[in-house]
Amino acid sequence: MTTLDWTQRFSGTAALPTRVRERLNKAAHIKHLKKGERVFGPTKIPDGLMFLYEGRIRVSQSSDSGREIVLYRVDAGESCVLTTACMLAEEAYNAEGVAETDVTVVILPKMTFDRLSAEEDSFRNFVFAAYSRRLIDLLRVVDDVAFGRIDVRLADRLLTLGQGLKEVRATHQELASELGTAREVISRVLNDFQKRGLIEQSRGLITFRNKAELEAIAAAP
């Protein structure tokens, strides 16, 4: 079906015998999506387990009132269990996944997924670990939202998004959606950061001036 052997890319499948991996390569569907496209959402639930072969997916939840919060990101080599969770639970929810870069996903049909988790320990453990990881991620989100100060969270998120870079390319609205708050709030805090010489701003771009101090803020003031 394809020449792409994705099974080498995931810790849950890489160790499987060649014979099994060939079977998987036959059963799976491969999809390419452009940056910005919706990978899954309330009206678009894939019928199987999703592996992210390449790129990054941003998973977020949105409110009726139009606000949004980023729950976590799925990186290449990870699987996205939230979709399977929703498949099973059949409950209302409003989380969606958006391709943050061009993306290649592998979709393993439910039947193959079931068989594999029965037969292969390493695969099953991989799936359990994926679930666990997301649970922990969500615990962190709850903790932040319920108890965290907005300046602390923003400083932290800027540094995360800026990973070793000198700047972050994002609008205030996008940052608000990261943290589940309103744009005006972000504007205020960023202006405060700027006054204190921690960053510089221009349209859609934030430049670091003093990462050390930002880190201090992010570590709870």
Partner DNA sequence: GCCGTTAGGTGACAATGTCACAGACGGACC
Partner DNA sequence: GGTCCGTCTGTGACATTGTCACCTAACGGC
Q: Does 187 bind DNA (CB under 7 A)?
A: yes
Q: Does 117 bind a second copy (CB under 8 A)?
A: yes
Q: Kindly report the CA angle at 201 between 164 and 58, in degrees rounded to 5? A: 55
Pick the closest to residue 187 from 147, 160, 150 (CA basis): 150
| Residue of 47, 54, 151, 213 interacting with DNA (CB under 7 A) | 151
Backbone angles phi, psi at 69, to 5 degrees: -140, 140
Rounded Cα distance, 194 and 58, in Å:
28
* 132: partner contacted, choices DNA, a second copy, none (Cβ within 5-8 A by kind): a second copy
Chain centroid offset of residue 129 CA: 16
Q: Does 150 bind DNA (CB under 7 A)?
A: yes
> Shortest Cβ distance from residue 202 to a second copy (Å)?
29
Q: Which two tokens stand for residue 132?
A: 């666990």
Our CB check for a second copy shows the closer of 66 and 164 to be 66
Terminal alpha carbon distance of the chain: 55
Stretch that binds DNA, among 80-88, 109-117, 124-132, 144-152 (CB under 7 A): 144-152
Our CB check for DNA shows the closer of 97 and 180 to be 180
Helices and strands in the chain, H and E counts = 8, 11
Our CB check for DNA shows the closer of 118 and 146 to be 146
Given the rule CB under 8 A, which residues bind a second copy?
61, 63-65, 67, 69, 71, 81-82, 84-89, 91, 93-95, 114, 117-119, 121, 124, 128-129, 131-136, 138-143, 145-147, 180, 220
